[in-house]
Amino acid sequence: MRRTRCRGPERLRHFRSRPCPIGAVHRIASRLDDEYVLVAGALSSTSEKTMRSGLAIGPAHTYADYGEMARKEVQREDGVEVVSTVTPNSEHMGAALAFIESGVHVICDKPLTTTLQNALKLKAAV
């Protein structure tokens, strides 16, 4: 498992999961303090939409879904260091757990999970 190290003056390599109406707000907010650079994303619920969104938004790496991204980005030397999960509420748990288990920091919209059982599962993973 790769653990994030302190990057010093460099910006954190950032991933965005697929967009929702609030996704653009999160993308803009992550640029405000210039601490993040968007390098990867699983940007939609379909591969076709993901590729279109990737071309429009511009991350270096685009993936069909967060599971694929969690498996592949963690293997890259220049892989993501933090992910921002802006999926539908019912998908927060799966995305957060995939990246936590890969050693990647997670920023997640609320609610983090939709059940107490899943919240306890995430707590145990951290």
The domain that contains 85 carries what CATH number?
Answer: 3.40.50.720
Share of the chain above pLDDT 90, in %: 25
Residue 7 placed within a domain:
no
Contacts with 98 (C-beta within 8 Å, 6 or more apart), sequence order:
66, 67, 70
Residue 83 placed within a domain:
yes
| Residue type (1 letter), 58 | G
How many Å apart are CA 108 and CA 94, to the nearest integer?
11
Question: Which residue segment(s) compose the domain that 66 sits in?
Answer: 12-125
How many Å apart are CA 74 and CA 71, to the nearest integer?
6
Residue 1 placed within a domain:
no
Dihedral of the alpha carbons of 37, 31, 62, 85, in degrees to the nearest 10: 110
Residue 44 placed within a domain:
yes
Per-residue pLDDT of 73-125, as tens digits, reads: 989 988 888 888 877 888 889 989 999 999 999 988 788 899 999 999 999 99
Q: For residue 49, give the 3-state DSSP assignment.
A: helix
Residue 97 placed within a domain:
yes
Residue 6 placed within a domain:
no
Query: How many distinct structural domains can be found in the chain?
Result: 1
Residue 3 placed within a domain:
no
